[in-house]
Amino acid sequence: MALGEKLFEETGHVSGFKVTKAHPVEGITMDVSFTSDLKGVGKFPTGKNMGSGTVTQYPHGVIDGSYQGVLNTTDGKQVFWWAHEKGRFAEDGKIKSLIMVSAYTNSQQLSWINNLVMALDAQRDLTTHESKTTAYEWK
């Protein structure tokens, strides 16, 4: 696996969640919604992000999630995205994850995003419900 240039840094907060399943073998499944501030690096746009999805926390500590959302850029463009997460609990009690993201936009100026695959290094604090993410181009 090769990582390319850094694309953005993101800080976010869970805005809502609902436990939809709790099972001793299959784990806990939740619907999650979140908002975040995204600061683009280089030509990647800066803006406000919002998304939602389903995440399962398995009894052995692995996290599996699927999400979708939209980035509203500071200059009024929209980027729609889809993501899949694999993570685990770290020693500090936070969740550390790898999130793979693809996106689409109708903006001619940002059309290069349509062929981009992103690898996000993410961590979430379950106590504060805050997250920090750094995104890179996946080559």
Would you say 133 and 10 are in contact if contact means Cβ atoms under 8 Å apart? yes
Digit-coded pLDDT (tens) for 20-72 = 999 999 999 999 999 999 999 999 999 999 999 999 999 998 999 999 999 99
Q: Does residue 1 have a pLDDT over 90?
A: no
Structure tokens at 126: 């379950």
Burial (CB count <10 Å: 0-12, 13-18, 19+), residue 55: buried
Cα–Cα distance measured from residue 57 to residue 63, given in angstroms and rounded to the nearest whole number: 5
Single pTM value for the model:
0.93
C-alpha of 77 from chain center: 19
Digit-coded pLDDT (tens) for 75-125 = 999 999 999 999 998 888 899 999 999 999 999 999 999 999 999 999 999
Q: Does residue 130 have a pLDDT over 90?
A: yes
Helix (H, G, I), strand (E, B) or coil at 112: helix
Would you say 98 and 85 are in contact if contact means Cβ atoms under 8 Å apart? yes
Q: For residue 70, what pLDDT is reported?
A: 98
Residues 6+ apart with CB under 8 A from 112: 43
Residues 6+ apart with CB under 8 A from 23: none
